[in-house]
Amino acid sequence: MAPKKSKAKPILLGCGGVTLLMLLGIGACAFVARDSIGGVFDIGRATVAAEEFMTDLDAERYAAASGQATNAGGCQGADQVATAQADDLGARLSGYSIEIGDESFSEDLENVDEVEFFGTATIDGEQQLITLELVDEGGWQVCSFSITQ
């Protein structure tokens, strides 16, 4: 009587091949997405920095707000914070709301180094438009801050 052939080897080889293809596919997707994921984290850190800056202004902590601003590379942030301090903006500011601008999201999220926020602030009981521009200089800093009536 002839020995029976086992069908286990072809099945195991087939499953191993499918598993290998799946792992290669997952690895390729992770490689393609890694730069975009980094950009999303950058935007998240910029959002936290913008919120901290506005919170410090609202609480009249000008030194802290000024420390989050930069005037490197043509930015006007630190000067505008000093102007806000001179005008005693914090005492007149009674709330704010900001959100990230749509143009901050581009197809290429891998090189996010500038983010713009828009919103409103209640100053002396009136709603006014505010704009914040942040730049990444090894940490997110306010580059410009403006109030529009």
Domain ranges of the chain: 9-148
Fold of 9-148: Nuclear Transport Factor 2; Chain: A, (3.10.450)
Residue 119, number of CB atoms within 10 A of its CB: 17
Q: What is the DSSP string of 65-113?
A: HHHTB--GGG--HHHHHHHHHHTTHHHHEEEEEEEE-GGG--S-GGG--
* pLDDT tens-place string over residues 123-148: 888 899 988 888 888 888 998 888 87
- What are the tens digits of pLDDT across the range 8-61? 555 545 555 666 666 666 655 444 444 445 566 778 888 899 999 988 888 888
